[in-house]
Chains A and B, each alone.
Chain A
Amino acid sequence: MRIPCPHCGERDVSEFRYGGDATKQRPKHGEGNLKTWHDYYFLFDNPKGAHTEYWQHVLGCRQWFKLKRNTATNEIGEAS
């Protein structure tokens, strides 16, 4: 799998670190109860299909960015 880093261009997946679902919204500080934070931290949509996720270009520019990828096919979409 090759990932298009928005800063360095397309590189091999081995240069990157996966950072999880990028569509999750972190609750505001002090907001909600234990369940709010449990759901934020522990639960995942884990969809079979379109997924927007964080990656870090660890062995490159070390920037974090968002990537669209299809989890059913590993087809890579837009990076931003």
Chain B
Amino acid sequence: MFKPYSALALAQHALSPERPWPRAWRSPEPKSSYDAIIIGGGGHGLATAYYLAKNHGLRNVAVLERAYIGSGNVGRNTTLIRSNYVIDGNTQFFEHSMKLWEGLSHDLNFNCMVSHRGQVVLAVNPVQLDTFARRGNIMRLNGIDAELLDRGQVMTLLPYLDYSKEARWPIWGGILQERAGTVRHDAVAWGYARAADTLGVDIIENCEVTAFVMDEGNAIGVETSRGKILGGKIGIAVAGHSSHVAKMAGLRLPIESHILQAFVTEPVKPMVHHVVSWGAELFYLSQSDKGGMVFGGHIDGFNTYTQRGQFPRIQTVAECAVSLLPFMSKLRLLRHWGGIMDMTPDGAPFICRTNIKNLYFNGGWCYQGFKATPASGWTFAHTIAHDEEHDLNRCYSLDRFEKGKELDDYGIGNWTYKQ
């Protein structure tokens, strides 16, 4: 079907530019039925289809995307990957994701530009540094790399921060995960799409699901803008719009949709060589390969499906940026945009069965959807193929609040983002 990308293919195309690169994936008409249907052609949906085909031999699979591949949150995030989680369940899941990131470009035969540039989370008081030591110990006990840094070490690694006496939040130290970093987000969507398509998965773009086809309480298919499609198993992977789609199946979810904004400045020469996160306020920054400072902060604070952010949040995030990195005051903002997040009570996601037979749910990604993409697809594919959760995602069930099994990674109770 498709020739693998290689240095030789690159040279051949360079020498004969009149011959265009072939389409990376087909554009098939939807069939009347599939063994499995994944609703949502974002990173998680595409990864799920890929691992269904690769790990579980399920190749009669369709991915239904309302718009085009790469148009949703997979192309709207700030591209960070890390695995520095504290709570059992999260720790192992996100480390599994990190391991998949490490081999992803080879696995997909697509350069995802995985950059293990390291992430430093900065402590702004001694108590915070103590909690970072605890976090680092938990990570190391789980075989994850973590290194505690004192103020001097941070000054060597990140010399451009505000270390003056006037700094509003003095930097006491930090925690470094060297394997953390960034990945080119579009390449992840394209790479998974192409790899899944090569294994026989039908990627159907411009195909919006409008209703579920039910039979005696079981989900047996979907009505779409391109006709009725039956499916043996149906997975929902539409984070941001989870409540909207799940409602069509009669489900009510522990989710509110909120807007998270992201920002890019004009490009400058290489300067920030890590991902820098701040302990004083939710703020993080990295420098893209093109030179722009990519950064973000908190959600706007009220539920909305509009992808338009509010000015007060822009001001807060800009204040964080200038407070931590004084040089940011000299840079102009090139672009800023918003993406819609499924916010959950405890900040952890859902990858699970539902109380409707043959209907599976993946969503509730809060701030952490992108870094989870490989493990999310990997475990969701397992859950769909075996009709049972894998050990890695057993904790991400929809009924965990009824059972008192919240995954409270911030340690401050439910509805963290409302506090």
Can you list, as one digit per residue, whether each of B49-82 has a CB less than 8 Å from chain A (1) or not (0)?
Answer: 0000000000000000000000000000000000
Say whether B402 contacts A38, CB under 8 Å.
Answer: yes
What number of A-B contacts does a CB cutoff of 8 Å give?
63
Q: List A contacts of B305 (CB < 8 A).
A: 48, 71-72
- Give Cα distance in the complex from A11 to B54, angstroms: 55
Can you list, as one digit per residue, whether each of A22-51 has a CB less than 8 Å from chain B (1) or not (0)?
Answer: 000000000000110011001111111001
Is A14 interfacial (CB 8 A cutoff)?
A: yes
Main secondary structure of the interface of A (DSSP, over half): mixed
Say whether B257 contacts A71, CB under 8 Å.
Answer: yes
Is B376 interfacial (CB 8 A cutoff)?
A: no
A71-B304 contact, Cβ under 8 Å, with A44-B252, A46-B253, A46-B257: yes
B345 touches which of A12, A42, A45 (Cβ 8 Å): A42
Can you list, as one digit per residue, whether each of B314-338 has a CB less than 8 Å from chain A (1) or not (0)?
Answer: 0000000000000000000000000
Q: List B contacts of A73 (CB < 8 A).
A: 306
- Give Cα distance in the complex from A39 to B398, angstroms: 12
Interface size class, chain A = 20 to 34
Is A1 interfacial (CB 8 A cutoff)?
A: yes
Q: List A contacts of B301 (CB < 8 A).
A: 17-18
Is B243 interfacial (CB 8 A cutoff)?
A: yes
Q: List B contacts of A35 (CB < 8 A).
A: 402
Is A80 interfacial (CB 8 A cutoff)?
A: no
Q: List A contacts of B402 (CB < 8 A).
A: 34-35, 38
Is A63 interfacial (CB 8 A cutoff)?
A: no
Shortest CB–CB separation between residue B210 and chain A, in angstroms? Answer: 13
Shortest CB–CB separation between residue B344 and chain A, in angstroms? Answer: 9
Is B134 interfacial (CB 8 A cutoff)?
A: no
Say whether B306 contacts A72, CB under 8 Å.
Answer: yes
Say whether A12 contacts B312, CB under 8 Å.
Answer: yes
Given contacts A42-B401, A45-B252, 11 further A-B contacts (CB under 8 A): A12-B312, A14-B310, A14-B311, A17-B301, A18-B302, A44-B254, A44-B256, A46-B244, A48-B241, A51-B303, A71-B257
Binding site for A on B (CB under 8 A): 241, 243-244, 247, 252-257, 301-306, 308, 310-312, 345, 401-402, 414, 418
Binding site for B on A (CB under 8 A): 1, 12-14, 17-18, 20, 34-35, 38-39, 42-48, 51, 53, 71-74
